[in-house]
């Protein structure tokens, strides 16, 4: 089981938008350049994100995207669901036909894992991710301000 590029890029792009959003819309070209994601791919992802009302767009000069909800009201699971990214540990896609058209012995195990993954991703919001980015930025700034240790001769 793994999260594909679609889900990873969608979460990355939404975090970039959350970090740079504010009074002015953020362009997909800017996200594309900063995150090294194809502009056409971002356009496809943001079309889906807009349909799921996670982002809103502004057309014309100075246009772009901004979040349609507050940071605390957009979870990573919301983003992944919006781009139709299945996270499924089962072999059968939950259809219970993985072992000669019958349910396999470990079906409940993998379905339980799916539930735990989605519970976790439902509890991680863009606000959480932004706070972690700010925390990392603060640590970097503290490291830069710390006096350099000198070697005694």
Q: 26-68, pLDDT tens digit by residue?
A: 999 999 999 999 999 999 999 999 999 999 999 988 889 999 9
Question: Rounded to an integer, what distance in angstroms lies between the CA atom of residue 37 and that of residue 47?
Answer: 15
Contact 111, 117 (CB under 8 A): no
Computed over every residue of the chain, the mean pLDDT equals: 87
Say how many C-beta atoms besides its own lie within 10 A of residue 49's C-beta.
Answer: 26
Q: Has residue 16 got a pLDDT over 90?
A: yes
Instruction: Count helices and strands (H / E) in the chain.
Output: 6, 2
For residue 77, give the nearest of 13, 7, 131 by alpha carbon.
7
Q: Given pLDDT bands bounded at 50, 70 and 90, which one contains residue 149?
A: low
Say how many C-beta atoms besides its own lie within 10 A of residue 71's C-beta.
Answer: 18
Tokens at residue 46, please? 């943001």
pLDDT of residue 145: 64
Higher pLDDT among residues 57 and 143, named by residue: 57
- Please state the separation of Cα 127 from the chain's center in Å: 12
pLDDT of residue 89: 80
Q: Has residue 151 got a pLDDT over 90?
A: no
Q: Has residue 136 got a pLDDT over 60?
A: yes
Q: Given pLDDT bands bounded at 50, 70 and 90, which one contains residue 105?
A: confident
Length of the chain: 153
Q: Has residue 150 got a pLDDT over 60?
A: no
Q: For 73-93, how does the pLDDT look when each residue is reduced to its tens digit (9 = 90+)?
A: 999 999 999 997 777 787 777
Contact 74, 14 (CB under 8 A): yes
What is residue 57's DSSP assignment? E
């Amino acid at each position: 089981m793994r999260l594909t590029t679609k889900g990873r890029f969608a979460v990355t792009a939404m975090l970039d938008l959350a970090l740079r959003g504010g009074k002015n819309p953020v362009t997909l070209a800017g996200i594309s350049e900063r995150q090294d994601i194809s502009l056409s791919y971002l356009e496809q992802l943001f079309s889906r994100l807009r349909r799921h009302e996670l982002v809103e767009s502004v057309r014309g000069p100075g246009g772009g995207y901004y979040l349609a909800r507050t940071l605390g009201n957009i979870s990573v699971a919301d983003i992944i669901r919006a781009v139709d990214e299945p996270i499924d540990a089962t072999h059968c896609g939950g259809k219970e036909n993985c072992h000669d058209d019958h349910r396999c012995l470990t079906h409940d195990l993998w379905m339980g894992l799916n539930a735990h993954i989605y519970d976790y991703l439902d509890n991680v919001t863009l606000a959480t991710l932004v706070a972690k980015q700010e925390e990392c930025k603060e640590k970097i700034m503290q490291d830069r301000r710390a006096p350099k240790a000198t070697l005694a001769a």
